[in-house]
Amino acid sequence: MFRKINLLVTALVLITSGCAISQNQPAEQWQNFSSTSAQVQPVAENKAGAVFIRPANGLAGEAVNVFVDGQYLASLLPGGYRQLLLCPKDSRLSAAFTNVNTHYKEKQQGKLFRLTEGDVSYFEITQDAQGQPSLVQIDQINAQALLQNAKEQQSGLSRVGENTECTTVAVQTYTLNDEVFFAFDQHQAAGMVDKDHQKINIIASHIRQNVNKIQMIVIEGYTDPVGNDSYNHKLSQARANAVKQQFLKLGISADLLQARGKGSTNLVINNCANQHPHNKAMRNMCNQPNRRVMVIVHGKHQ
Most confident stretch, 14-23, 28-37, 266-275 = 266-275
| Closest by Cα among 97, 99, 106, 102 to 125 | 97
**In one letter, which amino acid is 63?**
A
The residue that leads in pLDDT, 95 or 111, is 95
Integer angstrom CA distances of residue 61 from 64, 98, 99: 8, 10, 12
For 189-299, CATH gives 3.30.1330.60
What pLDDT score was predicted for residue 173?
33
Beta bridge pairs of residue 151 = 80
User: Is the model's pLDDT at 176 over the cut of 80?
Assistant: no
What pLDDT score was predicted for residue 295?
85
Mean pLDDT of the chain: 77
Whether pTM exceeds 0.85: no
Comma-separated ranges of CATH 2.60.40 domains in the chain: 18-152
Comma-separated ranges of CATH 3.30.1330.60 domains in the chain: 189-299
What CATH architecture applies to the domain 18-152?
A: Sandwich (2.60)
Alpha-helical runs (H) found in the chain: 2-16, 140-147, 195-209, 229-249, 272-275, 280-286
HSE value, Cβ hemisphere, 13 Å, CA-based, for 137 = 14
User: Is the model's pLDDT at 91 over the cut of 90?
Assistant: no
Measured in residues, the chain has a length of 302
| Percent of the chain topping pLDDT 90 | 26
Over the stretch 250-298, which tens digit does the pLDDT of each residue have? 999 998 898 888 898 888 788 898 889 999 999 988 888 888 888 888 7
What pLDDT score was predicted for residue 192?
56
